[in-house]
Amino acid sequence: NVMLANKVAVITGAGSGIGRSTAYLFAENRSKVVLIDNNKEEVDTLQSELETEGMAIEADVSSSIQMHSALKEAARTFGKVDIVFANAGINGAVAPIEDFDPDEWDKTLSVNMKGTFLTVKHAIPYMKQGGGSIIITSSVNGNRVFSNFGMTAYSASKAGQMAFGKMAALELSNYNIRVNVICPGAIDTNIGDRTYPDEEQLKNIRIPTGKKVSPNNTGTPEQVAETVLFLASDASSHVSGTEMYIDGSQTLL
Ligand code: NAD
């Protein structure tokens, strides 16, 4: 039961976590995969592990020049782009607003929000002939969870990605390109490691219901990838402009 035969999929943030698991699942479903990350070593290794045609490209999603040439290279190699998973992201600085460094604010918005815009922008020329599917990784923090103290820039960037995705869904419907946004809850990946280097600090991040962010109440990147596969494939042909929560109902509490 192969869902992406003959498709060409571009995945940003493919070097780790959700992007990496999605690359594996897409490859299993016979998609050609273009693995983009600013960590070259990780995507090179991943490419060598995948049993499918593909390529690894080093690029920073917040650079228009780099994303322009990355998408161009992908299209030159495979002739088209059918699927874009705009997924690269960072938690960025965590601090009270009063102390928040404006340069750090810009950095988080550049990678998460502008990076999504640039990924989509530079993919459109290669998608508009044949149509396709774009999936954007926002977060429960973009709409429903605002209790991670100090993560104002992250939450603002994730809300921005969500609004962008809805505008894009309408605009790109002319080209038969669907756009959907996923909102994962806490998922067991590397993303927190750089943000909360101190285990004690991590333990102190509380959700008001009394739950703590811990491996015990996280989902897995593989579980997220299954939803991305559905949104990428023709199984979701009438789904566009929606946001899908992948949080085990965490946000209904
Ligand atoms: P991760 O850190 O494991 O993977 C992120 C990948 O993105 C890394 O390989 C990193 O090198 C890459 N990356 C970072 N900045 C980049 C840049 N400027 N250009 C290119 N690549 C870059 O984290 P993850 O949890 O897999 O995160 C993927 C997405 O999921 C992010 O957008 C994140 O905000 C979102 N998300 C994660 C969670 C969670 O709990 N893990 C929850 C909700 C949303």
Q: Establish if 3 belongs to a structural domain.
A: no
Q: What is the pLDDT of residues 182-237, one digit of tens each?
A: 999 988 888 876 555 455 655 555 444 445 554 446 788 999 999 999 999 999 99
Question: Ligand 1: residues whose CB is within 6 Å?
Answer: 12-13, 15-19, 37-39, 42, 60-62, 87-90, 111, 115, 137, 139, 184, 186-187, 189-191
| The one catalytic residue among 154, 175, 196, 245 | 154
Q: Taking residues 51-72, report their average pLDDT.
A: 97
Residue 51: band (very low, low, confident or very high) from pLDDT cuts 50, 70, 90: confident
Q: Establish if 251 belongs to a structural domain.
A: no
Q: Using CA atoms, how far apart are residues 35 and 74, in angstroms rounded to an integer?
A: 9
CA of 191 to the centre of ligand 1 (A): 6
- Residue whose CA is closest, atom 32 of ligand 1? 89
Q: Taking residues 131-151, report their average pLDDT.
A: 91
Q: Establish if 167 belongs to a structural domain.
A: yes
Burial 116-125 (b: 16+ CB within 10 A, else e): bbbbbebbbe
Q: What is the largest CA-CA distance in the chain?
A: 53
Interstrand relation of 83-86 and 32-37 (parallel, antiparallel or unpaired): unpaired
- Which of these, 161, 144, 164, 115, lies nearest to 246 by C-alpha position? 144
Contact 208, 147 (CB under 8 A): yes
As a whole number, the mean pLDDT across the chain is 91
What pLDDT shows up at residue 209?
A: 44
Q: What is the pLDDT of residues 153-192, one digit of tens each?
A: 999 999 999 999 999 999 999 999 999 999 999 888 888 7
Q: Establish if 50 belongs to a structural domain.
A: yes
Q: Establish if 63 belongs to a structural domain.
A: yes
Q: Which of 12, 119, 191, 251 to mutate to test the pocket of ligand 1 (most atoms within 8 A of CB)?
A: 191
Q: Using CA atoms, how far apart are residues 71 and 19, in angstroms rounded to an integer?
A: 17
- List strands edge to edge, sheet with 83-86: 54-58, 32-37, 8-12, 83-86, 132-137, 177-184, 243-246
Q: Taking residues 84-96, report their average pLDDT.
A: 94
Q: What ipTM does the predicted assembly reach?
A: 0.99
Q: Check whether 238 has a pLDDT greater than 70.
A: yes
Domain that residue 238 falls in = 8-246
Q: Residue 198: beta bridge partners?
A: none
Q: Establish if 138 belongs to a structural domain.
A: yes
Q: What is the pTM of this model?
A: 0.94
CA of 192 to the centre of ligand 1 (A): 9
Interstrand relation of 83-86 and 54-58 (parallel, antiparallel or unpaired): unpaired
From the CA of 190, give the closest atom in ligand 1.
3
Check if 196 is active-site.
no
Q: Establish if 92 belongs to a structural domain.
A: yes
3-state secondary structure of 92: coil
Q: Establish if 203 belongs to a structural domain.
A: yes
- Residue 59 φ/ψ region, left for φ over 0, alpha for ψ in the -120 to 50 degree band, beta for the rest: beta
Domain count, the chain: 1
Those residues whose C-beta lies under 8 Å from the C-beta of residue 227, and which sit 6 or more positions away, are 182, 244, 246
CATH number at residue 220: 3.40.50.720
CA of 93 to the centre of ligand 1 (A): 14
